[in-house]
């Protein structure tokens, strides 16, 4: 288990422990209280606390299975998605409180999402696969901006955009530049893809994955050798492997 995964599980374990301890505290209060209505109220809270703790403990075990790339059933996949929808925002809040870099947790969220997608089999037509990339993949000093039209690229090869266009031509997939969440949503609505491969930073990836419903989104974190949003890079091989997997032509 890598450092990011360990941090994610540690925070989940901390949250689970707090709920269980709160449940025991409520149990203690019910034993010393003589008021009937008060005891009933505490019992309800006690049951809720233990059920939430059990739910989180089960979710944590299932998420650890995804870290080990173990096979996951459809029900287990649904339960992980439910738990992430409920727990993930709280984990981010705890990161802010205790001073942990939120991008570490966002990366784990993206990895869990990818693992859930890769646990299924796909046979999607290439023209129904959409690749969304950020404009920062283009060289900052390049005068031929691709934000409005990716075909403006002059194919000089100084950035990864040229190789991404080559992938588009080789596999006949759709390729668009998204300058933000609003543009990304507009592109998805207009193209109506059956699957999305999204390249972005951890924050944009996690928010995008949460917003898209009913479409598998594979998230790939871009590399930032010169800092955020400037001359970023991405693994072309990783994107091509994802394309082949979604087409049903390979494994990841």
Say what percent of the chain tops pLDDT 70: 98
- The residue ranges of every structural domain in the chain are 3-118, 126-247
Instruction: Examine the pLDDT at 93 and tell me if it is beyond 70.
Output: yes
| Residue 195: strand, helix, or coil | strand
- Over range 46-72, report the average pLDDT: 88
Would you put residue 37 in left (φ > 0), alpha (ψ -120 to 50) or beta?
alpha
Report pLDDT for 249.
86
Sheet with 174-177, strands from edge to edge, namely 174-177, 129-133, 195-200, 217-221
The structure tokens 């287990």 sit at: 76
- Stretch 185-210: mean pLDDT, rounded? 94
Q: Residue 41: CB partners within 8 Å, gap ≥ 6? A: none
Domain 126-247: give its CATH code.
3.40.50
pLDDT tens by residue, 65-82? 999 888 888 899 999 999
pLDDT band at 1 (very low <50, low <70, confident <90, very high): low
For the chain, what is the largest distance between any 2 Cα atoms, rounded to a whole number of angstroms?
80
């Amino acid at each position: 288990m890598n450092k990011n995964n360990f941090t994610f599980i540690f925070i989940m374990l901390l949250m689970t422990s707090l709920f269980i301890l709160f449940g025991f505290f409520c149990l203690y209060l019910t034993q010393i209280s003589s008021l009937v209505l008060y005891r009933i109220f505490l019992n309800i809270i006690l049951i809720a606390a233990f059920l939430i703790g059990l739910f989180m403990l089960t979710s944590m075990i299932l998420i650890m299975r995804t870290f080990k790339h173990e096979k996951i059933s459809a029900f287990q996949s649904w339960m992980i998605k439910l738990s992430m929808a409920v727990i993930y925002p709280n984990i981010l809040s705890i990161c802010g409180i205790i001073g942990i870099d939120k991008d570490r947790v966002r990366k784990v969220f993206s990895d869990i999402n990818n693992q859930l997608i890769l646990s299924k089999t796909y046979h999607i037509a290439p023209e129904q696969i959409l690749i969304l990339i950020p404009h920062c993949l283009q060289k900052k000093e390049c005068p031929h901006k691709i934000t409005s039209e990716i075909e403006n690229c002059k194919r000089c090869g100084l950035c990864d955009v040229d190789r991404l266009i080559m992938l588009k031509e080789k596999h006949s997939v759709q390729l668009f530049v998204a300058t933000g969440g609003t543009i990304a949503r507009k592109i998805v609505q207009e193209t109506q893809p059956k699957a999305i491969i999204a390249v972005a930073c951890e924050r944009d990836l996690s928010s995008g994955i949460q917003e898209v419903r009913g479409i598998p989104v594979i998230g790939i974190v871009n590399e930032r050798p010169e800092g955020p949003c400037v001359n970023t890079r991405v693994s072309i091989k990783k994107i091509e492997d994802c394309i082949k997997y979604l087409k049903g032509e390979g494994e990841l």
